[in-house]
A and B are shown apart, each in its own frame.
Chain A
Amino acid sequence: MSRTQSDTPADRDVIAIAEQWLQKGRRIAIATVIETWGSAPRPVGSQLVVDADGAFEGSVSGGCVEGAVVAEAADVIANGRPRLLEFGVADETAWQVGLSCGGRIAIYVETVV
């Protein structure tokens, strides 16, 4: 069955997209929210897939820190080692990328090989 509505963000499954990208030979990393403190825009378990060119689908913060996560993911894809990222108001870097909701989040970024 064809679906015209399927491009709404809510029903684009990050894992399905990650698999498609991998099958097409794109090098990818998956970022997962593993911990949140205070008010965080996306719940634990939220995921985002990034490729080596910085294209991404999904969200880990509703837009606040995606840019920084995508940049870190490029390193993870390049060296193959997973990385744990933390963003929050206490962190100056995080403040620059603007997690202005006052929460803190921890994000695990790993490549798929």
Chain B
Amino acid sequence: MRAPVLAALAEAGRERRAVILVTDLEGGDGRVVFETDAIEGDPLGEEITARFRSGRSGLIETATGRVMLTVRLPSPRLVVIGAVHIAQALAPMAEIAGLDVTIIDPRTAFASVGRFPGARLFPAWPEEVLAKAPLDVFTALAAVTHDPKIDDQPLADALRAGCFYVGALGSRKTHAKRLDRLAQLGIEHFDSARIRAPIGLDIGAQSPAEIAVSILAEVVEALRRRGASA
């Protein structure tokens, strides 16, 4: 591999762009293809498109020999709206599971460094933070404040951005009211149906830490089965 190819791969990672490293195993040459590149003229175009969709790396046979396609998708992020008790358990668990975690809460009493040592923590309104670090399809968002003033806007943003997971804390009754409010923000019911609520897999979780486990399990399921169901 040539150094510029490695540099391009590393930069794509920093910019959160999906890329495929195409390596000719016979000649040893490597090149980087971005998801946004035009692939019409590329002899491997169809295969590359399919690999971006599935996220699976693999070997293919071509007329000139074997070619390795190594797919690199951006590392998954988890944005937690609400520096609450659940978030205190969820943040370290999710980091161990390989997610980059961001916690946002405008209530400074909650969003204190003492409660979240070492975390990527923003004591600010979600709109301000997300304007600088926009949500994307490789991001999960969990809204757990219970406060519509804080939760609603980022939920709408997450649906518009196509986040791979969108979850919201609250009972079915609370959620029904939330859907009405989201409709007023211009979110169609077809889209808001993607919100996982009540949040978390149904494992009978009771304590904040147990609820964190159920949320993390639901996020992992959404990540790994992305595209397998609607």
Contact = CB atoms under 8 A, between A and B. Distances in A.
A binds B: yes
Interface of A: 1-6, 8, 10-11, 13, 15-16, 18-19, 22, 30, 32, 34-35, 43-45, 47, 81-82, 84, 108, 110-113
Contact of A11 (B1, B58, B95): B95
Given A8-B95, A30-B1, A1 B6 contact: no
A10 B58 contact: no
A34 B6 contact: no
B186 interface: no
14 contacts: A3-B118, A4-B118, A5-B95, A10-B98, A11-B95, A15-B13, A18-B6, A19-B10, A34-B59, A44-B57, A44-B58, A45-B71, A81-B28, A112-B6
Interface residues of B, number: 34
A110 B1 contact: yes
Interface class of chain B by DSSP: mixed
B100 interface: yes
A22 B6 contact: yes
A8 B99 CA distance: 11
Contacts of B56: 44-45
B10 A34 contact: no
B23 interface: yes
A15 B6 contact: yes
Contacts of A18: 6, 10
B123 interface: no
B172 interface: no
B75 interface: yes
B50 interface: no
Nearest to B94: A5
Nearest to A1: B120
A82 B57 CA distance: 19
